[in-house]
């Protein structure tokens, strides 16, 4: 930009920026920040918080196990831990240290619980703002919908259901031999989205309905449980794709 005796002007600044953009190829392109980006950031942050909460909870459980005669029960929560700690009467300096650490960990746990709750509230508002109908699919709640939208972005970049399934890692790989038709696990694709499809499949198999019917039909056809579950995931990938395409058409029609 202009320095020294040159008079600094907006025109000179604009020219300089244009010259830099023309000759510098390592600069990050400017893209529009939207709900998709926000949802990806929120889901990634939630994953970090949940991971940290699990670590703190496990550590707190280990400390309480050493403080309580009968050990600490499973299924520990912040409130349950606080109730247990009220009855602790340390008799040694070491136990005093353990109690202090437990108090710190309990404070960390409460903070993380609050942060997860706040994150999910913000995520819920962001998902609602997209006007998605993904949450009508059994087993797919707000958090999973946020992950799908955050990772997929513009669904029109996938020409077909097969392209979409390849991206989600749900398209099975052929492992047939002779007359034995088999498919093996696809370990490629977007693993976060693959995990979402797995969670939906497990919920549908457990809760009944069309997903369970499809799974049981595959079992009756001679598929192993793992193969039947993978087949359901592939089917769910198609369903998610169709919902997102339908939503996109609806939004475009409303904007016209």
Is residue 147 within 8 A of residue 132, CB to CB? The reply is no
| Secondary structure in 3-state letters for 84-98 | HHHCCCCCCHHHHHH
Spatial neighbors of 39 by CB under 8 A, at least 6 apart, are 123, 126, 127, 130, 146, 147, 149, 150
- Whole-angstrom Cα distance, residue 126 to residue 3? 45
pTM, to two decimals: 0.78
Question: DSSP for 108-144?
Answer: HHHHHHHHHHHHHHHHHHHHHHHT--GGGSTT--HHH
Say whether pLDDT at 183 is over 70: no
pLDDT value of residue 178: 55
Beta bridge partners of 180: 177
pLDDT value of residue 14: 52
CA distances from 106 to 21, 57, 95 (A): 51, 8, 16
Task: For residue range 192-228, list pLDDT tens digits in order.
Answer: 999 999 999 999 999 999 999 999 999 999 999 999 9
* DSSP conformation class of 183: E
The pair phi, psi for residue 111, each rounded to 5°, is -60, -45
User: What is the share, in percent, of the chain residues with pLDDT greater than 90?
Assistant: 73
pLDDT value of residue 31: 41
Task: For residue range 62-101, list pLDDT tens digits in order.
Answer: 999 999 988 888 899 999 999 999 989 999 999 999 999 9
Of 127, 138, 130, the residue nearest 239 (C-alpha): 138
First CA to last CA distance, the chain? 43
Higher pLDDT, 2 or 51: 51
Task: For residue range 117-140, list pLDDT tens digits in order.
Answer: 999 999 999 999 999 999 999 999
Say whether pLDDT at 142 is over 90: yes
Say whether pLDDT at 173 is over 90: no
pLDDT value of residue 29: 42
pLDDT value of residue 184: 58
Spatial neighbors of 183 by CB under 8 A, at least 6 apart, are 172, 173, 174, 175, 176, 227, 230
pLDDT value of residue 71: 82
Say whether pLDDT at 186 is over 80: no
pLDDT value of residue 69: 84
For the four alpha carbons of 197, 203, 207 and 212, in that order, the dihedral sign comes to: positive
Mapping DSSP to helix (H, G, I), strand (E, B) and coil, where does residue 169 land? coil
Mean pLDDT in the chain? 87
- Whole-angstrom Cα distance, residue 105 to residue 107? 5
Say whether pLDDT at 256 is over 80: no
Average pLDDT over residues 36-51: 97
């Amino acid at each position: 930009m202009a320095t020294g005796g040159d008079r600094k002007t907006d025109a000179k600044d604009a020219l300089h920026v244009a010259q830099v953009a023309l000759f510098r190829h390592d600069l990050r392109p400017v893209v529009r920040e939207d709900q998709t980006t926000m949802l990806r950031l929120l889901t990634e942050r939630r994953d970090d918080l949940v991971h940290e909460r699990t670590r703190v909870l496990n550590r707190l459980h280990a400390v309480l196990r050493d403080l309580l005669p009968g050990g600490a029960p499973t299924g520990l929560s912040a409130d349950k831990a606080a109730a247990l700690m009220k009855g602790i009467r340390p008799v040694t300096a070491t136990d005093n240290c353990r109690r202090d650490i437990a108090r710190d960990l309990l404070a960390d746990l409460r903070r993380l619980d609050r942060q997860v709750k706040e994150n999910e509230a913000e995520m819920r508002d962001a998902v609602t703002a997209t006007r998605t109908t993904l949450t009508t699919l059994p087993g797919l709640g707000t958090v999973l919908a946020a992950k799908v939208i955050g990772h997929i972005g513009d669904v029109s970049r996938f020409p077909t259901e097969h392209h979409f399934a390849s991206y989600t890692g749900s398209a099975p790989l052929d492992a047939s031999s002779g007359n034995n038709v088999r498919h093996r696990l696809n370990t490629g694709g977007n693993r976060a989205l693959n995990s979402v499809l797995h969670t939906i499949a497990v919920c549908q198999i457990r809760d009944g309905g069309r997903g369970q019917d499809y799974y049981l039909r595959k079992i009756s056809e001679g598929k192993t449980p793992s193969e039947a579950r993978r087949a359901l995931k592939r089917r769910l990938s198609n369903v998610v794709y169709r919902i997102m395409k339908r939503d996109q058409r609806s939004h475009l029609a409303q904007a016209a």
